[in-house]
Every structure is written in structure tokens, then in C-alpha cells.
Amino acid sequence: MNITAIIVAAGSGSRAGGNLPKQYRLLRGKAMLRHSYEAFAAHKGIGRIMVVIGEGQEKQASQALSGLKQPIFVTGGATRRDSVRNALNHLCDTPPSHVLIHDAARPFLSSKVIDDLLSALAVKPGAVPVLPVVDSLAKGRVDDNISVMGQTVARDNLWRVQTPQGFDFNAIYAAHKKWDSGQEASDDARMAMAAGYDVALIPGDEALAKYTFAEDFNDMAMNNASLARFRCGTGFDVHKLVPGEDLWLCGLKLDHSHGLSGHSDADVALHAVTDAILGAAALGDIGDHFPPDEACWRGASSDQFVAHAVQLAADKGYSLSNIDLTIICEAPKIGPHKAAMRERLAAIAGCDVDMISVKATTTERLGFTGRGEGIAAQAIATLFRAE
């Protein structure tokens, strides 16, 4: 199939409030329109993407999609039906076999929904994603100027219809030209059905919720705030093994023929942990806080680096959720020391030992760690902020 995606983004978004049309408002750091565009652009089944915009919105649309493959812009009309019709007219010169018509106000489009639509379009002239109605339904009536519940409506075979809606191009174009109802069509599927075409139902997605009112954006802001409560950072460090040095790992001094060389005590494990915590809090790296060219850190115990990183994160309102540390070496054997390392790291970080994981692996005698020339460590730290 030769597929063109049409994103309808011509509305003023007046019900959402604000001075900026909702399709250009930021959601999760991107303009709402960009989310849908990127979803279509990433799908191998989509050949072209057309964006229907409002009069005079070319600059806003271009800014929202900056850095992406140049989209095809078409100016919309007074109603959604007019906007879609304009897009279909524009495609007549080089018509696709099928179109997917999508509302920009449904930004979080998954590849699975697109896949399911294309599969359905292989056998039907139309297809739409739907979700079952799960709430009880009832008709209402007015009694003494108060609305009261009336007759219950059965939910069997009732569906909430979403977009994108897919169609054979010739079928939906004919349906648009044929539509002569005095009412505006609720969606393109309704016009296709009125023209005698079958429309298949495919599973929808709760993430495809439509953003219509100001409170919808407030809910998203709350969701983003909830996501921002959790932060994750990674750390990686390497130090050389040399004779005549003490070997410090995870705050413990281990018996070994060689020790790690470095400006401080060269505890590669604690250095990786420090960077992971600093990274999660977006506070730079260990070198920013403990420069190796400063004499005061020569031979310093690395436990103070971890403690300082934990305190800096706390100053920003974050507490430690967990640390996952992996030590990479051929020798010494880490297994006999893992329990003690967990306890020591928990004491340094000021957390429960259940929040600490210490693992070890080798590189099968490959590379500098495999030759016993050094030890590497990598760590992941997760922070959370209670609100």
C-alpha cells in the first residue's frame, strides 16, 4: 500500500484556553503536533505526511516540526470536514492508495495502532481504532429543574472512536464529495459509512486520549510532575592496577598483590557511584566537585565523595532510591566481599542495605581488565523526590 498520513492541526484550540493553539503547546518537552508527526515519520509503512494547518500558522507549524523532514502543509477550512477535504483535494494529483487521517490533539500514537490499521485496510475500505465503553450509561430527564437518571443504556457493542482513521483513498474522497447532510459529520468514518463503505474496528489505545480542555493539559502537567519525581543517572570509572598500592573497593580495603592508582584512594567503585548520583541530580561529574589537580584530594577517602553527592541531591529535594553497582575485574574475586560491600556502601550513602546491589563480572580475559591491568566499575543510581 502507498500510505499518506494526514494530520489535522487547523483548529484554534479555544476550548483549551491560552493564546497559543493547542497543537503547538508543549507536552513532554515537544509541541503536541510534533508527537504525531514523529510517530508517522518513524513508521516504515508511511510514505508521505501532510499537515493541515490554520490560516497564517505556517511559521508556528514549521517551528514545531523544525529539524524533521519538510512536511507538506495544506491550509484548512472552517470546519474539520473542510480541512480534511482540502487535504484530499491536494492529494488528487498524485493520489495514494490509502490515507490515515489523524487529529493532532491525540499526540501519543503508537506504532501498533498504525500496524493494526494497515492490516485491516488490506481487507476493508476503512478502519478505525476503538475502545470499549466501560462506564454505565443512562439517559437523563429533567424533573423539577433537576436532571435525574432515566433509562439505562446497554453498553454491548458501544465503542469510543479514536484516530487515526484509515481509508482507501478513492473511497473516502468519494464519501467526502457525497456528504450532503445538514449536520457536520462527527468523523470521517461516519461519512464513509454513509457512503456505503464498511469500516473495520481495531483495538484502540488509552494513550490516544484527546486533549480538548484546559484541564486536560493540567492533568498532563501533573503526570509530568510525577515523572519528574524520579531521576536516574549512570557512572563509569576505570583505574590502573599497580604494585605497592592499597586496594580499596566499595569502601573496603582488600588484600591483593596490587592496588589501584589514582589521585585519591582510587576506589573505582565509589567513583562510579558518585558519578551516577551526580548524574541523576544533573549536578555534573566527580571531576567538577573534586578536581584531581587539587592537592587536598590526594589520597582522600572516596567515601566522602559519595556522601557529598548524596547531600547535594538532598539539597535539591531528592533522596536515594537505589544503587546498582557492577565491578569488572579478573582479580581479586569480588563474590566473597559483596555482602560487606553492600553494607559499607549503604552506610556511606545513609540508606538501607536493601537499596544497594553489588555485582561482579569478568571480561573473559579480554581487554585491560582481562589482562589484570586495571579494574572498571559501572553504576546506576535512582533518586526520588517525595511530594
pLDDT in tens, 173-182: 999 999 876 6
Contacts for 98 with CB less than 8 Å, ≥ 6 apart: 1, 2, 3, 4, 118, 121, 166, 167, 168, 169
pLDDT in tens, 291-343: 888 888 888 899 999 999 999 988 887 889 999 999 999 999 999 999 999 99
Q: What is the pLDDT of residue 305?
A: 94
Give the CA radius of gyration of the chain.
30
Residue 341: which of 330, 321, 356, 331 has the closest Cα? 356
Parts of the chain with a pLDDT under 50: 14-17, 221-222, 224-227, 387
- Sketch out the chain's domains with CATH numbers: 3-222 (3.90.550.10), 229-384 (3.30.1330.50)
Question: For residue 295, which amino acid is it?
Answer: A
Q: Is 185 helix (H, G, I), strand (E, B) or coil?
A: coil
Give, in order, the Cα–Cα distances in Å from 326 to each of 154, 271, 288, 355, 366: 57, 12, 23, 14, 17
Separation between Cα atoms, residue 289 and residue 272, nearest integer Å: 14
326 pairs with which residues across the strands? Answer: 359, 378
Q: How many CB atoms are closer than 10 A to CB 83?
A: 23
Helix segments in the chain, DSSP class H: 32-41, 58-64, 80-91, 111-121, 169-178, 188-194, 214-228, 268-280, 286-289, 303-315, 338-349, 367-370
* DSSP string covering 30-49: EEHHHHHHHHHHT-TTEEEE
Q: How many CB atoms are closer than 10 A to CB 46?
A: 18
pLDDT in tens, 10-43: 976 544 445 678 889 887 778 889 999 999 999 9
Q: What is the pLDDT of residue 222?
A: 45
Question: For residue 94, which amino acid is it?
Answer: T
pLDDT in tens, 270-286: 999 999 999 999 999 99
